[in-house]
A and B are shown apart, each in its own frame.
Chain A
């Protein structure tokens, strides 16, 4: 478990350095993610330690943003005045996002299936 954490911290550190000196518009952890992804693709496998820690993080990702979310107390008056706008925006946007993504993917998939079949018949 410790070894998995150490690996993650190292990639995060590398990402932060890259972000600081070369790519300030991209957050360091995202660069760390990309570096680790390249590393995994080159290695062709995920070691068990890393997999375990990554799984634990994925399962309890929510806990990590509690401290920041509690800051909502500072915005309560603002949110109350605009409650209708906020809830409409969030609900409509969620429905559109899921719907559009699914439909685009489905259409793309059928188009490529058809084309694939067409080639086979040629």
Chain B
């Protein structure tokens, strides 16, 4: 006669398995994505934010330590590196359509990402945020997979960096049309590039839904911005770190 497992033991078995963390992660994202499509891709209904909040609530309810969750979810996390490599494709597609605009885009990207980092770090620091938070502001305007790689190199929290990146993407996607209209910027390629630098992933989805050219330039700008920051930030910070005091 087979002994029946008490329900609590089934639970212990499941929660120790990577499958459980994967199910919560993917299912909450899927639900978030369905809601996002339902809401006609409105940037407020961000599938990533929905998935993160729901997953946090679930693991807190279950008193599951984060380390245990991550041990399972790392299989999704692992693909970040591969997704970064895949960014070469949109950059290449953008290159083909730039035609003599490379210099302008290069200048704008460098100035834009410097402003992004300097403003966020300065404001957070002046308003008295801790070193952990200030440090994670450095890479927040870069697309998350690259941002987290940079964060690891800078010895700051990849988690906070990822969270700030997601929030930046949401804010950027919501605010971009108003900012660009107020500044009377009407060329699609310029609008796209600015959105790619400021609002990365989510901004791009928005840009593609409005205009194809804007989407292509946004994808390219996001990728290039990541590459420039990944190469430049560690070098610049090595020299500046003594003066920044973090």
Q: How far is the CB of A1 from chain B (nearest CB, A)?
A: 13
The answer to whether A82 has its CB under 8 Å from any CB of chain B is yes
Question: Which of B77, B84, B107, B193 is close to A67, meaning CB atoms less than 8 Å apart?
Answer: B77
Q: How far is the CA of A90 from the CA of B123 in the complex (A)?
A: 9
The answer to whether B120 has its CB under 8 Å from any CB of chain A is yes
Question: Residue among A40, A57, A66 with the most chain B CB within 10 A?
Answer: A66
A72-96 Cβ-contact flags toward B at 8 Å (1 or 0): 1111001100101110111111111
Is B66 in contact with A26, judged by CB distance below 8 angstroms? no
In the bound complex, residues from chain A placing their C-beta under 8 Å from that of B165 are: 65
Is B141 in contact with A93, judged by CB distance below 8 angstroms? yes
Given A27-B146, A97-B119, A63 and B84 touching (CB < 8 A)?
no
The answer to whether B81 has its CB under 8 Å from any CB of chain A is yes
Question: Which of A67, A70, A74, A98 is close to B176, meaning CB atoms less than 8 Å apart?
Answer: A98
Q: How far is the CA of A37 from the CA of B90 in the complex (A)?
A: 10
Given A58-B86, A102-B185, A102-B191, A65 and B227 touching (CB < 8 A)?
no
Q: How far is the CB of B151 from chain A (nearest CB, A)?
A: 10
Q: For residue B195, which residue of chain A has the nearest CB?
A: A98
Question: Which of B47, B101, B175, B193 is close to A62, meaning CB atoms less than 8 Å apart?
Answer: B47
Q: Which of A89-122 contact B (CB under 8 A)?
A: 89-106, 108-109, 112
Q: For residue A103, which residue of chain B has the nearest CB?
A: B183
Is B123 in contact with A26, judged by CB distance below 8 angstroms? no
Is B111 in contact with A33, judged by CB distance below 8 angstroms? no
A44-72 Cβ-contact flags toward B at 8 Å (1 or 0): 00100011011101111111111111111
Question: Which of A66, A95, A105, A108 is close to B48, meaning CB atoms less than 8 Å apart?
Answer: A66
Is B48 in contact with A69, judged by CB distance below 8 angstroms? yes
Q: How far is the CA of A121 from the CA of B187 in the complex (A)?
A: 26
Is B92 in contact with A98, judged by CB distance below 8 angstroms? no
Is B85 in contact with A66, judged by CB distance below 8 angstroms? no
The answer to whether B158 has its CB under 8 Å from any CB of chain A is yes
In the bound complex, residues from chain B placing their C-beta under 8 Å from that of A92 are: 119-120, 123
Question: Which of B89, B141, B190, B191 is close to A54, meaning CB atoms less than 8 Å apart?
Answer: B89
In the bound complex, residues from chain A placing their C-beta under 8 Å from that of B77 are: 64-65, 67-68
Is B140 in contact with A86, judged by CB distance below 8 angstroms? no
Q: For residue A116, which residue of chain B has the nearest CB?
A: B100
Q: How far is the CA of A70 from the CA of B225 in the complex (A)?
A: 25
Question: Which of B66, B198, B204 is close to A94, meaning CB atoms less than 8 Å apart?
Answer: B198
Q: How far is the CB of A75 from chain B (nearest CB, A)?
A: 6
Q: Which of B83-98 contact A (CB under 8 A)?
A: 83-93, 95
In the bound complex, residues from chain B placing their C-beta under 8 Å from that of A53 are: 86
Is B108 in contact with A104, judged by CB distance below 8 angstroms? yes
The answer to whether A36 has its CB under 8 Å from any CB of chain B is yes
Q: How far is the CA of A79 from the CA of B163 in the complex (A)?
A: 11
Is A90 in contact with B146, judged by CB distance below 8 angstroms? no
Can you give 12 A-B contacts (C-beta < 8 A)? A27-B150, A61-B145, A62-B166, A65-B77, A67-B69, A71-B159, A75-B163, A93-B116, A94-B198, A94-B199, A101-B197, A104-B108
Known: A16-B81, A27-B146, A93-B119. 19 other contacts (CB 8 A): A8-B86, A27-B153, A29-B82, A29-B149, A30-B226, A32-B84, A40-B89, A40-B92, A63-B29, A63-B47, A64-B76, A82-B127, A93-B140, A98-B175, A98-B176, A98-B195, A102-B179, A105-B193, A109-B190
